[in-house]
């Protein structure tokens, strides 16, 4: 897939350790191998190193491998794929497609992604303004991340598919029981995206015993970690290994 210059929108050509357009705008690859195309001084700098490390430690244990495999089932080797908000590339690196781009705003995420996975080009950029051509992707993937609706519709080929992964209602309920006096289930949301229609919805669940030392990392991956009181957070330190349900919704959208 072509990468476009964020300044003049012309195609970027690779030479050794940098990418350059015909107007002379030049972008160096980082030492790990990701390309920084984020010219804005945006407040959002993506997940911080602490969050990224926690997620990396947890995912490396294989708890979510079944989800990674399930998404791979919807991909083909000759697909062009864009993973929007790819984090440290746990899923991206395993996708079977030959032509892959991962985009995220977290430098610490992309350092890990680009260092470990040479099968993907990682771009430091907002997913709300992708440096990519219209209709370039057979598959666009978003896993536990904001949905950049307009950009997804723009970069998806006419016969392409958007794959969205999000938590289901019971996801991590037992983890919440360890922490909160009144644990609540996730809301069952219907996702509507203008320009796309849902083709398939799949719910997958697996329960695994999460080791004592992994509970904290798992909790840090959740959106409610930052809003939980120090007292409630401390409860997890006392907890023992616990059976926890991992429940996901995979939505496949096509254009229409």
Ligand X SMILES: C[S@@+](CC[C@H](N)C(=O)[O-])C[C@H]1O[C@@H](n2cnc3c(N)ncnc32)[C@H](O)[C@@H]1O
HSE of 133, CA atoms in CB hemisphere, 13 A: 12
Residue the block writes with tokens 């904290």: 216
The pair of three-digit structure tokens given for residue 251, joined into one six-digit string:
């939505």
Q: Does 146 bind ligand X (CB under 6 A)?
A: yes
Q: Which is nearer to ligand X, 23 or 48 (CB)?
A: 48
Residue 243 DSSP symbol: E
Question: Of residues 57-116, which lie at the interface with ligand X (CB under 6 A)?
Answer: 85-87, 90, 104-106, 109
Instruction: Find the part of the chain contacting ligand X (CB under 6 A) among 19-27, 113-121, 138-146, 211-219.
Output: 138-146
Task: Look at strands 35-36 and 120-124 and give their pairing.
Answer: parallel
Q: How far is the CB of 217 from ligand X (least distance, A)?
A: 12
Q: Which is nearer to ligand X, 92 or 242 (CB)?
A: 92
SS3 107: helix
Neighbours of 127 (CB within 10 A): 23
Q: Does 46 bind ligand X (CB under 6 A)?
A: yes
* Distance of alpha carbon 160 from alpha carbon 30, whole angstroms: 31
Q: Does 123 bind ligand X (CB under 6 A)?
A: no
Question: Of residues 147-186, which lie at the interface with ligand X (CB under 6 A)?
Answer: none
Q: Which is nearer to ligand X, 81 or 85 (CB)?
A: 85
* Distance of alpha carbon 63 from alpha carbon 246, whole angstroms: 9
Total residues at the site for ligand X (CB under 6 A)?
19
Q: Which is nearer to ligand X, 145 or 156 (CB)?
A: 145
Q: Which is nearer to ligand X, 145 or 172 (CB)?
A: 145
The pair of three-digit structure tokens given for residue 228, joined into one six-digit string:
């939980």
Q: Does 126 bind ligand X (CB under 6 A)?
A: yes
* Distance of alpha carbon 56 from alpha carbon 218, whole angstroms: 10
Q: How far is the CB of 111 from ligand X (least distance, A)?
A: 12
Q: Which is nearer to ligand X, 5 or 143 (CB)?
A: 143
Among 66, 74, 128, 173, binds ligand X (CB under 6 A): 128
Residue, CB closest to ligand X:
46
Q: Does 47 bind ligand X (CB under 6 A)?
A: yes
Among 143, 156, 178, 236, binds ligand X (CB under 6 A): 143
Contact 76, 96 (CB under 8 A): yes
Among 5, 114, 140, 145, binds ligand X (CB under 6 A): 145
Contact 59, 90 (CB under 8 A): yes
DSSP string of 197-222, one letter each residue: EEEEEEEEEEEEEE-HHHHHHHHHTS
The pair of three-digit structure tokens given for residue 98, joined into one six-digit string:
């030959």
Binding site for ligand X (CB under 6 A): 44, 46-47, 55, 85-87, 90, 104-106, 109, 126-128, 143-146
């Amino acid at each position: 897939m072509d990468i476009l210059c964020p300044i003049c929108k012309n195609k970027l050509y690779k030479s050794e350790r940098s990418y350059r357009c015909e107007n002379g705008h030049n972008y160096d690859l980082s030492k790990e191998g990701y390309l920084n195309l984020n010219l804005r001084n945006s407040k959002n700098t993506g997940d911080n190193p602490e969050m990224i490390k926690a997620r990396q430690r947890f995912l490396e244990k294989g708890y979510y491998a079944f989800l990674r495999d399930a998404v791979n089932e919807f991909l083909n080797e000759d697909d062009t794929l864009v993973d929007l908000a790819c984090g440290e590339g746990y899923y991206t690196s395993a996708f079977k497609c030959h032509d892959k781009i991962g985009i995220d705003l977290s430098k610490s995420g992309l350092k890990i992604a680009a260092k470990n996975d040479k099968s993907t080009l990682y771009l430091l950029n907002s997913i709300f303004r992708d440096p990519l051509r219209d209709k370039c992707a057979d598959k666009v993937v978003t896993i536990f991340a904001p949905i950049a609706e307009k950009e997804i519709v723009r970069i998806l080929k006419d016969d392409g598919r958007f794959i969205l992964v999000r938590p289901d209602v019971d996801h991590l309920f037992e983890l919440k029981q360890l922490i909160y006096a009144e644990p609540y289930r996730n809301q069952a949301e219907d996702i509507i995206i203008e320009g796309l229609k849902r083709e398939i919805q799949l719910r997958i669940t697996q329960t695994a015993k999460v080791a004592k030392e992994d509970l904290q990392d798992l909790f840090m991956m959740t959106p409610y970690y930052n809003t939980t009181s120090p007292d409630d957070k401390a409860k997890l330190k006392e907890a023992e290994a616990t059976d926890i349900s991992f429940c996901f919704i995979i939505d496949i959208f096509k254009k229409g």
